[in-house]
Structure 1
């Protein structure tokens, strides 16, 4: 059985049952007494859930007991959901002013003659089952446990996790850089001296990738090579994927002042459609005559023929080119390497303790707690010198001075789990156990994505919100902002890595061993479906398809509790409409349905049967021409994504009935949008237009709920009146050639609440719009890219006292600053790329502007990392 999160589910149900709204509707439908009885029993059961979790490994029968309660809670949640749906149907009925006949036709399930007895029967059945299961639990002798005793919530923390700070690997780094500096090194297999392979080998979590990145980003290495490429190889050694990564990486490396991040992304999208012959030709052209460095990270392939094939492809580079390979396998390292292996042993005890102290305490704080340092030393000894285990456990104890928590980690029986060779799951599981229950629940959803997946905060937060994993206790906060705090907390505990924060969205990865931990915890409730999958548990609640879906309908479980279906792999989607029909019939309680990159031409009206759906993603379905109007019956729907549906003629009629909608992303051929529909979307916070080629103008009426607004490649859009979005916090505009940023914005709101502004691809703009100054008290992120006519930054820029991030890329005529950058006291991240004169003036130590910016915590002058360059201009949704 997967990790149980019954306490969270039960608490959520109890909160709903205690609300006035549920009391009112339950009395109206004659089910108040039964719901109160269910609530009372659930309250008693909730008190012993933590004790049951603690004892389930000693009493096997407790597994089944917890499973039964979980199933009952999910059924109760579905029933409660129907009450909410009924309330929303009545609101739509009242707003529409339609006749009783029309409403009954549109919402037949709201007929109280049908609804009352059906719901009463369901509630009575659920109450009876819970009473019986609760009575059965008496034989286990469970006692009520205070949740605070089991898991203690801690304050949000943000320790410095700079990946360049490599403790205990300095000698390894210097050794590798020394090898890179040598022009000719002897080759093991054929005497070829034009290119040398340097292997880094070590067990999982030993720091191979961190060491490789440290070398890759070292300034000494920049001076050695004309071209650098980073390729994440992982489990398979797919030649086409590797070549595409190398071409994309080379394209980024070769970006000039006339190139933009968005044009680089477009290039990446185009080459995916090339055949292998074209790709090989493109790659060889990129590396021809260039002295290059390639990092092949996380290689598992032991097929020497494939390796030699790849090596032969890139031999056209200049002499002195190098390849760094990281792998867990000695045999693979020897097969690929041309020099003695760089074997990463476990860190020495002193370095391990230094690493532990760095992550468990603020700087110098450990001197105040010598007793905790001593316990930490004992914990470190059990980590077997593995940096990831040390760092993760230390992060879980950061700024926690309760000695009992430290002793719990040191003495836990998790260390005695039977392990596979080189397995450090016990250490990671201990850190996982220290997290609050809701955070542990969110973490398990990483298991639905492929290893080495590039996550972004938006997709994870949307999934958590759709499934009700996060709860809002403060009206000033949104569910999305609370979910984003979960991302920050996971980062602070070292459960995610390589975080690139762009303000409104952040991108990150999950280490292989952390991913293995998510799989270990998720087990049968989560299923990743691959081509070789032959059996799926009947208890499964979340399905993820990472390869072409099976046409075997019998493979899919009949369980009514399936909550999520997704296709996380770019370019892979649903091909069979009959499979979709099967899912709609079987899984009517779905909350999350991601059908991105699918290829069906029509969608059945039956989609309206998924009344509980919160999230529907149809992005990049480039065959679908129309959507059924019945999609507007999904009154619980919070997110609808239609970006990349380039053949879509019109939006479905009745869009305004989606009264729960908070996020809408559109690709449509319409030139005029139905204002009346949008006026009814009173909860809509995120509105996004993607490749709306015919759209010229937006509305004139205010849309006061909109907080985030995105425009991507809307070539005919002429004006954007900002005064109709009084609560706008994020504005992203990319590749909208005809848009006049000054038109209709002569007199904007007295002040703007904008926090994040992205202006990309305005070649005729010679100065930044003056209305930006109206956001001087709130702006935190400003990104300007490919403004080839921009010559000077405005004076008002230095009044942005809350500005944290300033990125300037590919503004070739930009010459300098207008005043002292030191006025930007909050600025933490400053990057300049593709601005020749300005980059020269900002060079560390020697540039005339360096004294103005030297105080900034993070600066990149002249170039940024590959990941940052790709993501900076990338469309987030």
Structure 2
């Protein structure tokens, strides 16, 4: 449909059978284009976005990818002519430009390197299907061989599930892709993983820190799967040709995931012919019958299976003599076979989500090659774990009392640990058990998680039936004092802690030299009354998050320590659900957080941001405020370029943010003043209760406006000059407005372009 109406006919358009017949969740696009004085309106349904870039935007994107400590912006600008030719070959597609940027950064900043990439004959390879991207192929061809196999393997991972860096690296190790000193294999695998990120072939999920989770773009995935089509089968249940392929071709690797639109189960027998398979990854429910066995899969190195009815197969696990990696995720099993100790080559054992598996067999302590053990949330580990001295990662280790089961004492000899996750620390009866774990001697430890069972409810307050006695508080404080990490640690999480103050090794008076510490996360601090005053001295701390600390009402000068510049390298600070927090003291003369780029304040009662915050955080780029209950104004942040305010009920004024480019306002009904933000480029305004556009819209001139509102307000906006709202947004060059149609959840869309 490509008819043209005058914009005054918008209400007639809204009533057309085509629009009203739109399916739930569909969108209608109304665009306007400048045609002199008069402007026409065209309607297109459904709306399809063409994902290409303008030349300047494409060049900027390429530069962002190429920039590094070795290649500066001025040097890149000297290569612009050749860079634009490469962009042209990429078809101005963002993904292709990003991938080429990653390749060019790896190649270096010399003109001949870029020219070599531009002239490469692989841009016109004819054997590859047209729908695959040649920029990805070119990047692949320039990879070293060790990285190619890791990249191709990543494409096997089901999209429907999150895989962490540790899991991916463990699979690579199990397949023999990583060679080197046995002590450094995980570190080398992490380096390969980060190299794929650097090349933009996998993309970080920024809801996780430290590249912990990444995703692979569908276009990149399709290419990688095409390159492995003769060796690997990636399929979804319900795909009609799975059985045919399984019956006619032998594969080295199988990856089968759920197609959520279909729920057909795959019969285990249909997999039995794949006797050469080295990797089997399945996230679907597989039909099991009595007599099912793993005996046919004698070549398996990696088995990741998510199936509740695994009990039939468990008894034959010990027959997988070559298995290195075993993940039984969410399996409905009560026991592991008593002879699991016969799997002498097993290096990675993940039992995450096997909630019915309470007791582990005694023979598990005979798995001397284990590098990773991830336990169910509730489990009892037999004594003898101290003999597994190859262990690098121990997840969800329960700190039970001494007796017939493994306790904290047995962690002492595990000197190779890189990652340690301790749970149920409230069960430790004496600090001496914690001392025997000898954490301070584990010189390779990088990540440490210290967890207690949370005493907070959904409202962020202590549960009524979870009172904490003074004796319990003192005991848990002593336990954590003895779990002091070594100087090597880079990442610490403390969860569910209920002492009145955090461990003494986080306090300035007795601070251990945690000079490598980069990330700290606190969750559910039920009884802490103040933040620790030693953190500000950490020279390399980059990320700090405090979530749910109901007893903290005041953050004072001790947090920043007046004597010296505090938090010298802190990049991101998140203070979330400190539901009783009302005051933050920070005077302008107190120097702190000079490198802070992102600040998130959420679900608190803070009445104003302290003077020192605006005057000291000269690198602050993103300010994100969510349900800051009593905050009435935001002003004088000279460096902020992006501001998000969401559900701040008392916010009345935003002013004097001269470099602000992106502004997102959601449900701030009292906001009346928006001024002195002359650099504003993009604005998002969301409020489905609005009866009209706010008056402050007259005082700003963003280039782009996105509006989420009621359907009838959308109609008033779409009426253009003849509507009541025209003078509030007529100065905006690009307008996109969206509305929902009541309970039907139909979405309407109108766009203006001048």
Q: Within 5 Å, which residues of 2 pair with 1:368-387?
A: 368=75, 372-387=79-94
Deviation by residue 1:123-160 (Cα, 9 ceiling, x = unmatched): xxxxxxxxxxxxxxxxxxxxxxxxxxxxxxxxxxxxxx
Q: Indicate which of 753, 758, 776 corresponds to 2:493.
A: 758
Rounded Cα–Cα distance in structure 2 between residues aligned with 1:734 and 1:605: 33
Question: Structure 1: any 5+ residue segments left out of the alignment?
Answer: 1-183, 198-303, 312-321, 326-332, 866-877
Which residue of structure 1 aligns with residue 555 of structure 2?
816
Q: Please state whether the residue corresponding to 1:709 is helix, strand or coil.
A: strand
In 2, the alpha carbon distance for the partners of 1:422 and 1:715 equals 60
Q: Following superposition, which runs of at least 4 residues in structure 1 exceed 6 angstroms of deviation?
A: 322-325, 419-422, 690-697, 838-845
Which residue, 214, 230, 255 being the options, matches 1:544? 255
Normalization by structure 1: what TM-score? 0.55
Tell me by how many angstroms 1:389 deviates: 1.0
- Structure 1 residues 484-563: aligned runs within 5 Å: 484-500=190-206, 502=208, 506-530=212-236, 531=238, 532=240, 533=242, 534-536=244-246, 538-547=249-258, 549-551=265-267, 553-554=269-270, 556-560=272-276, 562-563=277-278
For residue 357 of structure 1, the aligned residue among 50, 54, 63 is 63
Matched, 1:729 2:446: yes
Whether 1:592 aligns to 2:327 is no
Match of 1:614 in 2: 324
Q: Deviations over 1:29-62 (max 9, x none)?
A: xxxxxxxxxxxxxxxxxxxxxxxxxxxxxxxxxx
Under a length normalisation based on structure 2, what TM-score does the superposition of the two structures give? Answer: 0.63
Contact in 2 for aligned 1:551/1:579 (Cα 8 Å): no
1:602·1:627 contact (CA, 8 Å) conserved in 2?
no
Match of 2:288 in 1: 576
CA contact (8 A) 1:395 1:494 kept: yes
* Kept after mapping to 1: 8 A contact 2:266/2:287: no
Residue 431 (structure 1) shift: 1.5
Q: Secondary structure at the match of 2:549?
A: coil
Query: Using the alignment, how far apart are the partners of 1:618 and 1:438 within structure 2?
Result: 28
Cα pair distance change 1:564/1:376, threshold 3 Å: same
Match of 1:829 in 2: 572
1:555-600 Cα deviation digits (max 9, x unpaired): 654442x111112x4xx3444156851xx22221211011234323
Deviation string, structure 1 residues 656-679 (Cα, Å, up to 9, x no partner): 2211001112238665x432x212
Please say if 1:625 is aligned against 2:328.
no
The structure that is helix-richer by fraction is: 1
Q: Is the contact made by 1:383 and 1:424 (CA closer than 8 Å) also made in structure 2?
A: no
After alignment, is 751-760 or 609-618 more displaced? 751-760
Number of positions where the alignment pairs a residue of Structure 1 with one of Structure 2: 540
Of residues 170, 185, 190, the one that matches 1:462 is: 170
Unaligned runs of 5+ in 2: 1-8, 31-42, 259-263, 455-471, 586-598, 602-607, 628-641, 643-754
Change (3 A) 1:388 1:504: closer
Q: Are 1:396 and 1:431, in contact at CA under 8 Å, matched by a contact in 2?
A: yes
Query: Match for 1:409 among 97, 101, 117?
Result: 117
Q: Does the aligned pair in 2 maintain the 1:596–1:620 contact within 8 Å?
A: yes
User: Structure 2 residue aligned with 1:777, among 515, 519, 522?
Assistant: 515
Secondary structure of 1:375 counterpart: helix
Mapped to 2, the partners of 1:698 and 1:684 lie a distance apart of: 16
**Alpha carbons of 1:384 and 1:788: their partners in 2 closer, same or farther (altered >3 Å)?**
same
Separation of aligned partners in 2, 1:830 and 1:378: 41
**2:105 aligned counterpart, secondary structure:** coil
Q: Deviation string for 1:503-535 (max 9, x for gaps)?
A: 576122222211222222221211123322121
Deviations 1:402-433 (A, max 9, x none): 54442332122332245999845112211122
Change (3 A) 1:502 1:587: same
Residue 786 to residue 404, structure 1, CA distance change in 2 (3 Å):
same
CA RMSD of aligned residues (A): 4.1
Which structure exhibits the higher relative contact order, with contacts defined as CA atoms closer than 8 Å and separated by 6 or more residues? Answer: 1
Using the alignment, how far apart are the partners of 1:187 and 1:496 within structure 2? 47
Distance 1:863 1:635, change over 3 A: farther
Is 1:729–1:754's contact at 8 Å kept on the other side of the alignment? yes
The residue matched to 1:448 in structure 2 has which SS? coil
Residue pair 2:425, 2:450 contacting (<8 A) in 1 also: no
Q: Aligned equivalents of 1:415 and 1:750: distance in 2?
A: 52
Deviations 1:221-275 (A, max 9, x none): xxxxxxxxxxxxxxxxxxxxxxxxxxxxxxxxxxxxxxxxxxxxxxxxxxxxxxx
Asked if the contact 1:602–1:624 (Cα under 8 Å) also holds between the matched residues in 2, the reply is: no
Contact 2:514-2:538 at 8 Å conserved across structures: yes
Q: CA 1:370 to 1:846, structure 2 compared with 1: closer, same or farther past 3 Å?
A: closer
Tell me how far apart the structure 1 counterparts of residues 273 and 118 of structure 2 sit (CA, whole Å).
42
1:709 to 392, 412, 420: 420
Deviations 1:634-671 (A, max 9, x none): 11101112232222242122222211001112238665
1:666·1:692 contact (CA, 8 Å) conserved in 2? no
Any conservation in 2 of the 1:650–1:668 contact (CA below 8 Å)? no
Give distance in 2, aligned partners of 1:422 and 1:816: 59
* 1:674/1:350 CA distance change after superposition, 3 Å: closer
Cα drift, residue 613 of structure 1: 0.6
Q: How many angstroms apart in 2 are the aligned matches of 1:774 and 1:469?
A: 38
> Which of residues 371, 387, 391 is equivalent to 1:680?
387
Q: Secondary structure at the match of 1:743?
A: helix
Change over 3 Å in CA distance of 1:758–1:826 after alignment to 2: same
1:50 aligned partner: none
